[in-house]
Structure 1
Amino acid sequence: MREAPAPTHPPQGEMVVPIPLTELHPFPNHPFKVRDDEAMKETTESVKEYGVLTPAIVRPREKGCYEIVAGHRRKRACELAGLTALPALVRNLDDDTATILMVDSNIQRESILPSERAQAYKMKLEAIKRRGARTDLTSPNNSAKLRSDDEIGAAMGMSGDTVRNYISLTQLVPELQQMVDDKKIAVTPAYQIAALKPEEQALLVETIESEQATPSVSQAQRMKKLSQSGELNEDTMLSIMSAEKKPEVDKIVLTGDTLRKYFPRSYTPRKMEETIIKLLEAWQKKRQRSQER
């Protein structure tokens, strides 16, 4: 039998109450899909064996019942485990606070698709901006405020540009979003493609299918430039996509999102880099000693 994880205790003064699953509704436009995958199977087995150790967070709905802020996967695990109620903390949260809490409680998961991350960042950004606008009405020092997307990035150990790039993916048509999620199109060229008009993106989908190839970063940049000058059409797009791709430069790019899960949240990018170099040096010395034997 595996060891049960330690339960999370609610803040002092809050009570955990069992809420019937039939009274729980998903958060509006919840960006994170609930999948019946291997991770869900493990969560369900844990719920069967130990119960729900970390209560969900819900808020009352105007129409009655409750809206899940954090705990969509736990609700699904309860359904699969045959339970009828989910232990939860009931909080009276305004829309923006609930949105920020919903994103923050999910964004650190490992199996998040680019489209999910993009929509989540967008929702959080809009919520922070709305709250900031309300604060700015009484704040005399508006110029000292960080840009909201930089604020989100700083809180997650990434730059505001990375946040803005991810949010741009929400501008992709569904077919291209799916290709990015399926890793048929890399995220970096997708940032460039997102700047194309919807009709140009639809044309790109057709071109990808006909050419059986997806755009590289340089090809996506060329299409974006032609789109901005009004010169992107079927002929110019086909010319770009049918051109032989230049060999990629021999380099490896590790994004902050890829590395973040291996380091404490307090680590800066510089500290992460120093740690990686030290580990590589130790690994190299170990290989050299092994070869000398």
Structure 2
Amino acid sequence: MKNEMETKPEQRMKDGTFIPIKKSDFTKKSTEHKLLNVTAIALDKLVPCANHPFLTYKGERLEKLATSISISGLINPIAVRPHTNGSYEILSGHNRVEAVKLLGQDTINAIVMEGVSDQEAERIVIESNINQQSFADWNYSQQIRVIKIYNKYIQDNSQQGKRRDLADNATCVHSEHKLADKHPRPKTRDKISKQLGISSTVFERYRSIAKLDDKILDRLCEMLDERRLGFMAAYRLSQLKQGEISAVLDFIKDNPDTKLKGSTAKLLYDKSQDSTDKELTKESIQELYITTI
């Protein structure tokens, strides 16, 4: 069975810009974090990453991983960072921990990573999963949670980019070089979308959905996973006013046989844009549904 892939911590240039993390080994040296030797850690000292957005293995899949470990041993140690009261937070290896528990073991080999920030921890969790599976393998809830985390990095890099551009402009003026002669830097958005294996356009649609209020987003993700609406329909809904999104979701919930198509969501969006001073009501949504059946 294929062993779980591992990744090294987040890489950044000196100016703080994002560099996609590539498949690698946690035991390689890092200029940002002090990596300790592999050590055995008691399983009862481990806690899952607080913002772990992925579902862990269950049933047969977990049993297969446990069988692989029982035959070949734990080839790749997990990665953790110091937590509170002598415990350790898992950064990479949640499934390996569960598999070792299934085997009845008390400890697991781990690399302890010092000085890892919360943001870096989130990135390590995401990257280790990206290297095990493709973005398309995850359900919508997992995909959107990941995009929501990446949104924070894009915002951070946007601020850093503005400062860097000001510095570049000053340098160019001083040296009499023209900015037009410089090759444009790839945007953080483009780097991330390439790493996820999706186009920049699709990535922006995911971002539009991920920016929704948490309560609405949870409801929307649930309906996406249940296939009560499609991705394009969800994207169109994300462009509506918050009250309108809630009204549409309420309508779908109250009508179990109803599914929201992308074309219908587009009509809802157009109607919302035509009446900027008023929000769509449940009645107007129902009327539009009837006319598109």
TM-score strictly above 0.5: yes
Q: Give the letter aligned to residue 153 of structure 1.
A: S
Q: 1:60, 1:67 within 8 Å by CA — same for their partners in 2?
A: yes
Matched, 1:235 2:280: no
Note the 1:92-241 alignment, pairs <5 A. 92=114, 93-108=116-131, 109=133, 111-130=137-156, 133=159, 137=163, 140-141=167-168, 144-170=184-210, 171=212, 172-211=216-255, 212-228=257-273, 229=276, 230-241=278-289
SS across alignment from 2:129: coil
SS across alignment from 1:68: strand
Structure 1 residue runs without a partner (length 5+): 246-293
1:161 and 1:71 mapped to 2: Cα distance?
Answer: 32
Following superposition, the deviation at residue 77 of structure 1 comes to: 1.6
Following superposition, the deviation at residue 244 of structure 1 comes to: 3.8
Identity %: 24
Q: Give the letter aligned to residue 267 of structure 2.
A: R
1:126 and 1:135 mapped to 2: Cα distance?
Answer: 14
Q: Give the letter aligned to residue 108 of structure 2.
A: L
Q: 2:53, 2:142 within 8 Å by CA — same for their partners in 1?
A: yes
Q: 1:99, 1:124 within 8 Å by CA — same for their partners in 2?
A: no
Note closer, same or farther for the CA distance 1:177–1:50 as it changes in structure 2 (3 Å cut).
same
Q: 1:118, 1:168 within 8 Å by CA — same for their partners in 2?
A: no
Question: What is aligned with 1:70?
Answer: 92
Question: What is aligned with 2:14?
Answer: none
Does 156-165 or 137-146 show the bigger shift? 137-146
Q: Which has the higher contact order (CA 8 A, sep 6+)?
A: 2
Deviations 1:242-269 (A, max 9, x none): 2344xxxxxxxxxxxxxxxxxxxxxxxx
Q: Give the letter aligned to residue 233 of structure 2.
A: P
Following superposition, the deviation at residue 123 of structure 1 comes to: 0.9
> How many residues are matched?
243
Q: Give the letter aligned to residue 188 of structure 1.
A: M
Superposition TM-score, scaled by structure 2 size:
0.71
Note closer, same or farther for the CA distance 1:101–1:132 as it changes in structure 2 (3 Å cut).
farther
1:64 and 1:127 mapped to 2: Cα distance?
Answer: 30
2:199 and 2:160 mapped to 1: Cα distance?
Answer: 25
**Which structure 1 residue ranges, 4+ long, deviate > 6 Å from structure 2?**
6-9
2:265 and 2:291 mapped to 1: Cα distance?
Answer: 12
SS across alignment from 2:89: strand
2:160 and 2:85 mapped to 1: Cα distance?
Answer: 26
Q: Give the letter aligned to residue 18 of structure 1.
A: A
Superposition TM-score, scaled by structure 1 size:
0.71
Q: 1:70, 1:101 within 8 Å by CA — same for their partners in 2?
A: yes
